[in-house]
Amino acid sequence: MMRIAVGGFQHETNTFAPSKAPYAAFEQADSWPALQKGPKLLTAFKGMNVPIAGFIDAAEAKEHELLPLVWCSATPSAHVTEEAYERIVEMLLDALGYAGEIDAVYLDLHGAMVTEHLEDGEGELLKRIRAAVGPKVPVVVSLDLHANVTADMVAYSDALIAYRTYPHVDMAETGARAAAHLDAIFAGLPRQAKAMRKIDFLIPLTAQCTLVEPSAGIYRDVAALEGAVLGNGRVSTVSFAGGFAPADIKDCSPTVIAYADTEAAAAEAANRVAREVNDAESRFREKLWSAHDAVAYGIANAGASGPIVLADTQDNPGAGGNGDTIGILRELIAQDAQRSALGVLFDPESAKQAAAAGEGARVRLKLGAKTGGANEEPVEEEFDVVRVTDGEFLATGPFYGGSRMSLGTTARLRKGGVEIVVASRKAQCADQEMLKHTGIEPAKLGILVVKSSVHFRADFGPLAREVLVVASPGPNIADLAKLPYRHLRKGVRVMPLGPAYAG
Ligand SMILES: [Zn+2]
C-alpha cells in the first residue's frame, strides 16, 4: 500500500478568446464538477468520464491510500488570471504539505494552460511540485490529447500520459493508465529515459478526430508501441498530443512523448510516431463550409431519419468560444429551415426573459451575440417559449457520460421550423440530453447545429446522416492561417502544408 497525493487543475487556454478564466470559473460547476478538496474529492467523481475518476478507482482497487489535494477545472477560455493560478497552485501546495510523507503524486492536468503571467502553466506547476516533493518521489500526470507539451512539463514529471481519443471517451481510462504506470514504478520499473519530439505544423481541432484517418491509425500505432522492445530497451508509455492550436505560445504544436528503459529506445519510439505524423501532414487538411452553404445543403439533403449535423466549430465553448455567436442561426431563420435545432446557445439574459414570460408565451428577444468578439448583432425576433427548465440533468453519452450538468435556467425557443436551446451557462453541445431534457428529439431532426468541434461525434455521430464542419464567426478560428500569431516558434507551419510562421 502506497500513499499517493492526488489532485488536478484543468484549463485549455485559447489566447485569442474573448473572456479570461478568473478564480470563480474554477470554483463553480459547469459540465464538470465544482472545485473539490478534502475527503470529498475522493468520491466526487464516481462513475464520471474524468481522468481523476479513473485514477482513483484503479488506485483504490490496489488499496493505495489517497491524499486529496485540490481538483478544479474551468471551461476553456482566454488566459487564466494570475490571481486564480497563484491561488489554486498555493492551495495545491498547501495540501501537499499537509499530506506529509508520500510515495507519489498524481495530477489530472490538461496541458494547454496559459496564464496572464506564464506561457506554460503546467510546466511551472510541475516545477513547484517537484521542488516540494524532491527528486525521488514519482510525479505522474495525465494530459488531454490537446496538450501543448513543453520541455519543463517533461523535465519536472516522471511520466506524462495523454488521452488517445477525440472525442475524449477515454478520459477515465487515461487516469487508470496513469495509475498502472505508477504501480509499475512501485514494482521496480527502472527510472525511465524520456524523449520528446515537437511536430512542425499545427493541426486544427476538427482534423484531429480519432474516429477518422489519419489520426485513427496514428493512435493505433502509438498504443502498439507500449511494451515494445526496441534495441535493448523496453518502451513503457507513449503519447501523441495533437496540440491546441489557438494558443499563441512558443510551445504550441503537436508533441510526441515516449518513455523507455534506455535513451535509445525512448528516442526510437518517439521518432517512429513523429515520422508517421509528418508523413500524414497532407491528410490533416479538410473542407470548411460557409454558414450559408451548409444550411442550404442541409435543407436540400435532410432526410426522415437522422440529422445533417453542422459543427459550429469556431464558437465551440470547448475551445474558448462563448457559445453565443449567431451566424448559423441567422441562416437557419433566413432560409426557413424546417425540423432544425441549435444547441446550446449561451445567453443568460434571454433564458431569464423566456422563463419570466413562461412556457407557451411569445416573447421578443435580442438573442445571442451578447459577449461580443465576433462583431455580430443579436437576432432580434419574436420567439415562442416551448419549454423552460432548470438546466439540471444527467449526461448519458460516452463523452460527458455520468456528469451532472448545471446549465442554469434553460429555455427551448422556436421560430418557425427552427428551435434553439438557450442556457445560462456555457457548455459544449456534446450530449443528446442537452437537447432531450427540453423535449427535443435529436434523431428526428433534419438539421442539427452543435456548438462543438468534435466531441459531439461521440453521442451525435451515430445519429448523423452527415457532418459538415462550418466556419461561422467565433474565436476558435478553423483556418489557423488567419490567426494573428506573434509568439510561435519560427518555422512552424500554421496549417498542415500551410505557410511557415516567420516571426
Ligand atoms: Zn481536448
Q: How does pLDDT run across 402-427, given as a tens digit for each residue?
A: 888 999 999 999 999 999 999 999 99
**Confidence bin at 401 (pLDDT 50/70/90):** confident
**Confidence bin at 476 (pLDDT 50/70/90):** confident
Q: What is the mean pLDDT of residues 271-276?
A: 98
Q: How far is the CA of 178 from the centre of ligand 1 (A)?
A: 17
Q: In the numeric block, which cell numbers belong to residue 467?
A: 457532418
The whole-angstrom separation of Cα 463 and Cα 317 is 22
Q: How far is the CA of 476 from the centre of ligand 1 (A)?
A: 13
Q: How far is the CA of 236 from the centre of ligand 1 (A)?
A: 23
Beta bridge partners of 482: none
Q: How far is the CA of 146 from the centre of ligand 1 (A)?
A: 5
All residues at 6 or more sequence positions from 330 whose CB lies less than 8 Å from its CB, including other chains = 291, 379
What digits encode the pLDDT tens for the residues 85-102?
999 999 999 999 999 999
Would you say residue 272 has pLDDT above 90?
Answer: yes
Q: How far is the CA of 168 from the centre of ligand 1 (A)?
A: 7
Q: How far is the CA of 38 from the centre of ligand 1 (A)?
A: 27
The 10 Å CB-count burial string (b at 16+, else e) for 209-230 is: bbeeebbeebbeebeebbebeb
Q: What is the mean pLDDT of residues 212-220?
A: 96
Would you say residue 493 has pLDDT above 80?
Answer: yes
Contact 69, 120 (CB under 8 A): no
Phi/psi region, residue 294 (left: phi>0; alpha: psi -120 to 50; beta: rest), is alpha
- Mean per-residue pLDDT of the chain: 96
Which residues keep their CB under 5 angstroms from ion ligand 1?
A: 144, 146
pLDDT score, position 31: 77
Would you say residue 324 has pLDDT above 90?
Answer: yes
> Cα–Cα distances in Å, from 322 out to 78, 147, 342, 452, 480?
10, 21, 15, 11, 19
Q: What is the mean pLDDT of residues 326-354?
A: 98
Q: How far is the CA of 161 from the centre of ligand 1 (A)?
A: 13
Q: What is the mean pLDDT of residues 165-184?
A: 97
Q: How far is the CA of 11 from the centre of ligand 1 (A)?
A: 10
Contact 102, 133 (CB under 8 A): yes
What digits encode the pLDDT tens for the residues 126-152?
999 999 999 999 999 999 999 999 999
What digits encode the pLDDT tens for the residues 258-267?
999 999 999 9
Percent of the chain with pLDDT over 70: 100
Q: How far is the CA of 317 from the centre of ligand 1 (A)?
A: 12
Q: How far is the CA of 145 from the centre of ligand 1 (A)?
A: 5
